[in-house]
């Protein structure tokens, strides 16, 4: 069962009705979602220690009829909550870890609430749209890469697509307008060769220029296009 728009980019009446129904669920749960965001914000927990936040997310969805488990995929603070039995599984990521010392400066309390709200909205139309909703509470985004062990444990194996939102300053940015949507950390070692500066300088190798040659295009590449 598809939610695709009709020819000429004109949204059909059924799709409009499904969107309206989902939007109404968000409006009906607005205060509950705001309270969830505020409670997570008021009790910030850093990477892999988000026990209260995970419990709040899990309890909210369990009370809404989701099949919910906390402490999944080998992580004590990971959450899985599923609803529906459709052929298309939609995964929704909810982050809720805070930064050390400064708390929720990156707004993960809002990401968690937005993820829960999305899950509730899609659950309301899951049967008619042929969906299975799967919220994944993903710990340790700021430091620790909590999604990595979850991915390796198969958390996304049954998902056709995965969604999440992240706050930013300025105007909304659609996913298609972003060039960089992933990050990795690695270590590069530049090795020179020592030599006597007076006796045999020609035998020395200076690694500094290579480091500069490497870092310059990297720095240029992260400048956003205008």
pLDDT digits (tens, 9 = 90+) for 107-134: 999 999 999 999 999 999 999 999 999 9
3-class SS string, 102-146: CECCCCHHHHHHHHHHHHHHHHHHHHHHCEEEEEEEECCCCCCCC
pLDDT band at 2 (very low <50, low <70, confident <90, very high): very low
pLDDT digits (tens, 9 = 90+) for 28-65: 999 999 999 999 999 999 999 999 999 999 999 999 99
C-alpha dist (Å) from residue 137 to 58, 106, 169, 194, 220: 8, 16, 24, 51, 35
Q: Could you give the CA distance from residue 142 to residue 137 in angstroms, rounded to a whole number?
A: 14
Task: Give the per-residue pLDDT at 76.
Answer: 98
């Amino acid at each position: 069962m598809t939610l695709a728009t009709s020819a000429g980019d004109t949204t059909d009446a059924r799709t409009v009705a499904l969107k309206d129904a989902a939007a109404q669920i968000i409006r009906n749960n607005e205060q509950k979602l705001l309270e969830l965001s505020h409670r997570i914000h008021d009790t910030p927990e850093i990477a892999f220690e988000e026990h209260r936040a995970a419990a709040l997310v899990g309890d909210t969805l369990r009370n809404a009829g989701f099949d919910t488990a906390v402490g999944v995929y080998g992580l004590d603070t990971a959450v899985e909550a599923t609803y529906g039995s459709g052929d298309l599984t939609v995964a929704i990521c909810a982050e809720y870890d805070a930064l050390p010392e400064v708390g929720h400066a990156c707004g993960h309390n809002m990401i968690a609430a937005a993820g829960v709200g999305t899950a509730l909205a899609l659950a309301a139309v899951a049967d008619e749209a042929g969906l299975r909703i799967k919220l994944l509470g993903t710990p340790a985004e700021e430091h620790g890469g909590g999604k990595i062990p979850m991915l390796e444990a198969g958390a996304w194996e049954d998902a056709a697509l995965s969604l999440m939102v992240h706050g930013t300053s300025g105007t909304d940015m659609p996913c298609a307008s972003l060039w960089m949507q992933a990050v990795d950390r690695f270590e590069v070692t530049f090795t020179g060769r020592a030599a006597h500066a007076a006796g045999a300088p020609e035998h020395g190798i200076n690694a500094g220029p290579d480091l500069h040659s490497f870092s310059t295009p990297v720095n240029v590449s992260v400048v956003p296009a205008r």
